[in-house]
Amino acid sequence: MASIKALAELVPFKTKHGIRVKIITKWNAATGFFSHKKSMLLGDAKGFKIEATIDDERTLPDGIILEVGAWFEIYNFKLTRSSGFIRPTKSRYQIKLCELSVFSKIEPLNESYFLCLTNFKSIIQGLSHSMFCIDLCGALVGVFDIEDIEEEPAEIVGSMTKRMKFSLINIGLTQIKCVAYGRQAQELYDLWSSTTANTVICVLRLWRIEWGQDGFQYMTNTDFSEILFDHDIPEIKDFQSRIPKNSY
Q: Would you say the CATH fold of 120-241 matches that of 7-106?
A: yes
SS3 per residue for 100-153:
EEEEEEECCCCCCCCCCECCHHHHHCCCCCCCECEEEEEEEECCCCCEEEECCC
Give the residue, 84 or 143, on which the prediction is more confident.
143
State residue 100's pLDDT score: 84
119 Ramachandran zone, left/alpha/beta (phi>0; psi -120 to 50): beta
State residue 95's pLDDT score: 96
Q: Identify the band that residue 33 occupies on the pLDDT scale cut at 50, 70 and 90.
A: low
Alpha-carbon dihedral sign for residues 50, 88, 222, 241? positive
If one looks up domain 7-106 in CATH, what number appears? Answer: 2.40.50.140
Phi, psi of 87 (to 5 degrees): -125, 145
Give the residue, 244 or 140, on which the prediction is more confident.
140
Mean per-residue pLDDT, 229-236: 95
Q: Identify the band that residue 152 occupies on the pLDDT scale cut at 50, 70 and 90.
A: confident
State residue 37's pLDDT score: 78
Of 110, 105, 107, 78, whose CA–CA distance to 94 is shortest?
Answer: 78
**Long-range interactions of 85-90: CB distance < 8 A, separation 24+:** 85/131, 86/131, 86/133, 86/208, 86/222, 87/51, 87/131, 87/132, 87/133, 88/41, 88/49, 88/51, 88/132, 88/133, 88/206, 88/224, 89/41, 89/49, 89/50, 89/51, 89/132, 90/132
Domain 120-241, classified CATH 2.40.50.140, yes or no:
yes
Provide the residue ranges of all domains of the chain, joining segments of one domain with +: 7-106, 120-241
With beta carbons less than 8 A apart as the criterion, state whether 170 and 162 touch: no
CA-to-CA distance for 162 and 143, rounded, in angstroms?
14
In a 10 Å sphere around its CB, with 0-12 CB exposed, 13-18 middle and 19+ buried, how is residue 73 labelled? Answer: middle
Model's pTM, two decimal places? Answer: 0.90
Percentage of residues in the chain having pLDDT higher than 90: 73
State residue 67's pLDDT score: 94
State residue 200's pLDDT score: 96
